[in-house]
Chain A
Amino acid sequence: MRRNFGPRTVVKGVVIAALLIFTLFPAYWMISSSFDARASSGGQSLLPQEFTWDNYIFVFNEGRFGVFLRNSFVVAFFTVLISGILALLASVAVARFRFKFRTSVLILVLTVQMVPLEALVIPLFVQVRDLHMLNSLLGLVVVYLAFSLPFAIWMLRGFVAAVPVELEEAAYLDGASWGRMFRSVMLPLVAPGLVATSIFSFIVAWNEFIFAMTLLGGASDTYTVAIGLKQFFGLHSNDWGPVMAASTIITIPVMIFFVIVQRRLSGGLVSGAVKG
């Protein structure tokens, strides 16, 4: 389909170009600064001038970002695994069973998502300290489970509800128990939804800042990437090259996951949000 190259097309082209520049510029600037030897000494221009890997080498050697990356992966992995299992069980309950207080449970799940983390940080700090889990990654995993669960339940609910009940009944007719049906019918069919919610939980755990800062405050060996970057920024606040290199390292896994999940994520958000 070829269109006339009229003034409307030109205007639209300019608008799209402006939009793309605005959307992509911060990411471009981050990556280009991270490879530019001049970013730390000033005088960097829009295009990188001296290509270098030094910023990255510095980040891993002096910045100990290897440790922070490992910590973040450990925390994210256990958050994803446990919240996936718990959310799946809970979403089957709310999507498949009609029981007393079902609506109340749904409202609870929806409402707790709105609780500001700033309100939870004081009591959870005391609670985690009483359990002697300050400065431990396990304490952080437990807290992140609470943050990722409500949304995971809310989103998985839609995927579970989409599995035809007839398939379940067919399994029962074939003599399967509820557990067998769950494993052989339900689980494979909601697997795509499980992938989407896992990625969401991963991103929550990977990006979270205020609790990582509060609960891990004392021991930099247990820092996750988000607060590793903050400490790094404080030490070398004028060295923008390494700060941007570290930022790039943190951003890449999230971007990869976003690309994988983009369709499902937006679809899930819409159906989860609009269909109630």
Chain B
Amino acid sequence: MRTRPWLLLAPALILLGALLVWPLVRVFLFSLQDYGLREIVTGESNYIGFGNYAEIFANPMLWTVVLPNTIGFAVVAVSATVIFGTLVAMLMASLGTVWRTIVGSAIMVAWAMPAVTGTYVWIWIFDADQGLVNETLKSLGLMDESFNWFTNPFTFYAIVVLNIVHHGFPFVAITVLAGLLGVSKEMLEAAEMDGAGPIRRFFAIIFPTLKPVFSVVIILSTIWDFKVFAQIYLMPGGAGSNRDVLNLGVWSYVESFGQNRYGFGAAIAVLLTVLLLIITAIYVRTLFKEEKE
């Protein structure tokens, strides 16, 4: 009886250990080495201590481009996704069954769009030559020549935010809606009778009740938006040719597989992982604290 749970867990744990935990240890070991093409072919190790980390922190790219892109993007994308998703959830909660189903199904379509195809559709919409946005702006006379939305880091990330919000708000809306439907109607009505407006009702009743839901949604979105990869890598210039739009994940990938500097790339990846682990630790603590309450 004692061993049965471990027998049941064994296959899954072995797999997770071999494919998630051990690689994490190894990426850290790689990050302490000058691991290049020769090492990757021969499998020899070449330890250099914390040289890669020193190089990263001394690199102005990190401070002027990569970190602002990673953190700034995550802050903007998470706030936009959560605020928009919450507004949609509140709209859905106020609808009758028919319209709620219609809006809910439309949201599912946005959610189901794979990241790769969704990204191509946004590239096509903003395409410099024949894209819908450029064509429309030109035909309205607002613009004389086509504008390349992908060369400027600011408009580049504006499109990424649009893409991420479009793909990410359904999760927030559906999760918050489930929570909203559990908020006591009597309390809301009582507050309304006492003269509380919609904003007051939101912050006095809905938000406190839904706090656990919001903390889950915010932390999960933060984790997802920190490690966004395909949505940037696939955009024109996003795969390393435009250095101004790199974020931590893409930087690590292009240094490793583009420049064969696997050790340096591994160190960047470790940095990203540490950032995410800190956020995860907060997440786990919030979850288990709420379970105890």
A-B contact count (CB 8 A): 263
Docked complex Cα distance between A149 and B171 (Å): 20
Docked complex Cα distance between A99 and B88 (Å): 42
- Note all chain B residues with C-beta closer than 8 A to A105: 9, 13
Docked complex Cα distance between A54 and B269 (Å): 43
Interface size of A as a range? 35 or more
Q: How far is the CB of A8 from chain B (nearest CB, A)?
A: 10
Residue ID in chain A nearest B170 by CB atoms: A23
- Note all chain B residues with C-beta closer than 8 A to A142: 19
Point out the residue from B6, B125, B178, B287 that lies within 8 Å of A29, measured CB to CB: B125
A residues 95-132 with Cβ under 8 Å of B?
96-97, 99, 102, 105, 107-112, 114-127, 130
Docked complex Cα distance between A99 and B129 (Å): 62
Residue total for B at the interface (Cβ-Cβ under 8 A): 95
Q: DSSP class of A's interface residues: helix, strand, loop or mixed?
A: helix
Point out the residue from B9, B99, B249, B291 that lies within 8 Å of A116, measured CB to CB: B249
Interface stretch among B74-82, B113-121, B183-191?
B113-121
A251 at the interface (CB under 8 A from B): yes
- Note all chain B residues with C-beta closer than 8 A to A207: 114-116
B23 at the interface (CB under 8 A from A): yes
A residues 68-112 with Cβ under 8 Å of B?
86-87, 89-90, 92-94, 96-97, 99, 102, 105, 107-112
- Note all chain A residues with C-beta closer than 8 A to B116: 207, 209, 226, 229-230, 250
- Note all chain B residues with C-beta closer than 8 A to A257: 112
- Note all chain B residues with C-beta closer than 8 A to A210: 229-230, 233, 253
Q: Quick one: CB contact mask for A35-78 with B, threshold 8 Å, 1 for yes?
A: 00000001110100000000000000000000000000000000
Given the contacts A87-B12, A210-B229, A111 and B114 also touching, CB distance less than 8 Å: no
Query: Are A273 and B220 within 8 A (Cβ)?
Result: yes
B193 at the interface (CB under 8 A from A): no
Query: Are A86 and B11 within 8 A (Cβ)?
Result: yes
- Note all chain A residues with C-beta closer than 8 A to B43: 130
Q: How far is the CB of A158 from chain B (nearest CB, A)?
A: 13
Interface stretch among A161-169, A189-197, A262-270?
A262-270
Point out the residue from B12, B105, B121 that lies within 8 Å of A26, measured CB to CB: B121
Q: How far is the CB of B199 from chain A (nearest CB, A)?
A: 16
Query: Are B15 and A123 within 8 A (Cβ)?
Result: no
- Note all chain B residues with C-beta closer than 8 A to A240: 124, 127, 130
B residues 207-256 with Cβ under 8 Å of A?
212-213, 216, 220, 223, 226-227, 229-230, 233-234, 248-250, 252-253, 256
Query: Are A90 and B91 within 8 A (Cβ)?
Result: no
Q: Quick one: CB contact mask for B65-93 with A, threshold 8 Å, 1 for yes?
A: 00000000000000000000000100100
Query: Are A247 and B120 within 8 A (Cβ)?
Result: yes
Among B109, B270, B287, chain A packs the most CB atoms within 10 A around the CB of: B109
- Note all chain B residues with C-beta closer than 8 A to A126: 26, 40
- Note all chain B residues with C-beta closer than 8 A to A119: 23-24, 27, 252, 266, 269-270, 272-273
- Note all chain B residues with C-beta closer than 8 A to A127: 23, 26
Query: Are B253 and A121 within 8 A (Cβ)?
Result: yes
B37 at the interface (CB under 8 A from A): no
Docked complex Cα distance between A99 and B284 (Å): 20
Q: Quick one: CB contact mask for B257-278 with A, threshold 8 Å, 1 for yes?
A: 1000010011001101100110
A178 at the interface (CB under 8 A from B): yes
Point out the residue from A23, A26, A150, A209 that lies within 8 Å of B122, measured CB to CB: A26
Residue ID in chain B nearest A226 by CB atoms: B116
A30 at the interface (CB under 8 A from B): yes
Query: Are A250 and B256 within 8 A (Cβ)?
Result: no
B62 at the interface (CB under 8 A from A): no
Docked complex Cα distance between A276 and B127 (Å): 44
Query: Are A209 and B115 within 8 A (Cβ)?
Result: yes
Query: Are B213 and A259 within 8 A (Cβ)?
Result: no
Docked complex Cα distance between A235 and B183 (Å): 53
Query: Are A114 and B269 within 8 A (Cβ)?
Result: no
Docked complex Cα distance between A15 and B15 (Å): 48
- Note all chain A residues with C-beta closer than 8 A to B108: 255, 258-259, 262
Q: How far is the CB of A174 from chain B (nearest CB, A)?
A: 20
Residue ID in chain A nearest B21 by CB atoms: A112
A-B contact pairs, 5 of them (CB 8 A): A22-B166, A110-B287, A122-B256, A243-B120, A258-B111
